[in-house]
Amino acid sequence: AQSVTQLGSHVSVSEGALVLLRCNYSSSVPPYLFWYVQYPNQGLQLLLKYTSAATLVKGINGFEAEFKKSETSFHLTKPSAHMSDAAEYFCAVARDYKLSFGAGTTVTVRA
Amino acid sequence: DVKVTQSSRYLVKRTGEKVFLECVQDMDHENMFWYRQDPGLGLRLIYFSYDVKMKEKGDIPEGYSVSREKKERFSLILESASTNQTSMYLCASSRASGGYYNEQFFGPGTRLTVL
């Protein structure tokens, strides 16, 4: 069964610091992987997705993620955090036309 | 601007009531989904519909049913609401063509409280 595990339910970073959110996947076949973001009182929106075209994927708002097959990981990074990055982030893996989500990581940004 | 709308942002119901949550998308998407979101559990799929009148159970369908009579509308029904169904409910839609990696577009969610 395809699933994802997000390490760390809460991450606190200073404004301008690196944001690193960890996601490991379990899949018996090459996975399709996604990162979604949920801002307060909103639905989820897509940050980026991996579809095997390139291992380094760039998304919106300066985020990127690197697919590492040897580590079964798809960690999300942003070089310099902004106050507007405070949100909950979800890693997900495609199962047919459905998605299986991780538990989520809440990011707080300190001024 | 593409949109998924949900009928209510907040809903309070009593145990045993029948509850309808409505979702409408304006993107002509074939696929529609209902998830519930709980702290520490992420999003869990309740039901999935891939065409009008077609549905498939997700991971946690117990206590829920769905209806899709028109392509743009997908309803979630709680036949007899219980307190353990207090949660945030999110609707999403996606295209069917192009493969498994199509983006899902989400509504803003309905926070349901069952007393």
A61 close contact with B: CB closer than 8 A: no
Q: What is the pLDDT confidence band of residue B112, given thresholds at 50, 70 and 90?
A: very high
pLDDT tens digits for B3-49? Answer: 999 999 999 999 999 999 999 999 999 999 999 999 999 999 999 99
Q: What is the pLDDT confidence band of residue A94, given thresholds at 50, 70 and 90?
A: confident
**Closest CB to A103 among B42, B48, B50:** B42
A109 close contact with B: CB closer than 8 A: no
B31: Cα within 13 Å, side-chain hemisphere: 23
The residue among A74, A80, A62, A72 whose CA lies nearest residue A105 is A74
CB contact under 8 A, B45 and A98: yes
> Does the pLDDT at position B114 exceed 70?
yes
Residue of A nearest to B6 (CA): A43
- Please tell me the predicted confidence (pLDDT) of residue B100: 67
Q: What is the dihedral of CA B52, A32, B87, B82, to 10 degrees?
A: 60
Percentage of chain A lying above the pLDDT 90 cut: 75
> Does the pLDDT at position A5 exceed 90?
yes
Q: What is the pLDDT confidence band of residue B103, given thresholds at 50, 70 and 90?
A: confident
Q: Look at the block and give the residue holding tokens 């069952």.
A: B114
Give how far the C-alpha of residue A102 lies from the chain's centroid of Cα atoms, to the nearest Å. Answer: 9
- Mean pLDDT over B42-57 rounds to 94
CB contact under 8 A, A98 and B4: no
CB contact under 8 A, A43 and B96: no
> Which distant-in-sequence residues (6+ apart) come within 8 Å of B93 by Cβ?
B4, B23, B25, B27, B29, B31, B32, B33, B74, B104, B105
pLDDT tens digits for B73-90? Answer: 999 999 999 999 999 999
> Does the pLDDT at position B105 exceed 80?
yes
